[in-house]
């Protein structure tokens, strides 16, 4: 038996698995195991309110198709958190769960954009591993929810590492 949130997303998992029902069930089971582990104690607003004050992750307006945009301001990550991004992951996942609960409009708005702002961030400060981890969680556990991923104020030194859409 799957959680109700996963049951309602079964078609998303089937589409993600390219029509393979066994793979879709495997992906759903993986997501359920992750959710039961990550949220084994409920996340309360009191648990994240102090961390939210840094302004690292927050929602801004909507695009022309009404998808909201989640902004990640890398410069605002405290130096004490560098190298250990559990708090950042928790903040971002809190924002995504907020979106899932209050911002989805079934049949109209079912995915969101992500904007990573790298203003005033040096090459060594970019949390590549944390961004990969977040991308993995979005891609594997929030199937079909990601819209467009934007990076702004990126150093020209990083441009050879980024594949631009044609």
| Average pLDDT of the segment spanning 115-124 | 82
Provide the mean pLDDT of the chain. 84
| Average pLDDT of the segment spanning 24-29 | 94
Q: Which of 92-96, 128-132, 156-160 has the highest mean pLDDT?
A: 92-96
| Average pLDDT of the segment spanning 124-146 | 74
Q: How confident is residue 20, by pLDDT bands cut at 50, 70 and 90?
A: very high
| Average pLDDT of the segment spanning 104-120 | 89
Between 139 and 54, the higher pLDDT residue = 54
SS3 string, the chain, reads CCCHHHHCCHHHHHHHCCCCHHHHHHHHHHHHHHHHHHCCCCCCHHHHHHHHCCCCEEEEEECCCCCEEEEEEHHHCCHHHCCCCHHHHHHHHHHHHHHHHHCCECCCECCEEEEEECCCCCHHHCCHHHHHHHHHHHHHHCCCCEEEEEEECCCCCCHHHCCCCC
Mind listing the pLDDT tens digit for each residue in 45-103? 888 888 899 999 999 999 999 999 999 998 898 888 777 777 888 888 889 889 988 99
Task: Lowest mean pLDDT of 39-48, 73-82, 119-128, name the range.
Answer: 119-128
Q: Return the pLDDT at 26.
A: 95
């Amino acid at each position: 038996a799957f959680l109700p949130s996963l049951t309602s997303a079964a078609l998303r998992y089937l589409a993600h698995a390219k029509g393979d029902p066994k793979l879709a069930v495997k992906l759903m089971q993986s997501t359920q195991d992750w959710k039961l582990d990550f949220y084994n104690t409920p996340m309360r607003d009191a648990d994240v309110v102090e961390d939210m004050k840094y302004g690292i992750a927050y929602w801004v307006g909507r695009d022309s198709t009404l998808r909201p945009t989640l902004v990640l301001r890398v410069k605002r990550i405290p130096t004490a958190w560098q190298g250990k991004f559990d708090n950042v992951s928790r903040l971002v996942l809190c924002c995504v769960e907020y979106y899932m609960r209050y911002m989805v409009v079934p049949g109209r708005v079912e995915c969101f954009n992500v904007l990573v702002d790298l203003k005033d961030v040096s090459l060594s400060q970019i949390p590549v591993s944390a961004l990969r981890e977040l991308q993995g969680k979005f891609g594997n556990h929030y199937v079909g929810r990601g819209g467009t991923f934007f990076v702004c104020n990126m150093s020209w030194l990083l441009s050879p590492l980024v594949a631009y859409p044609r």
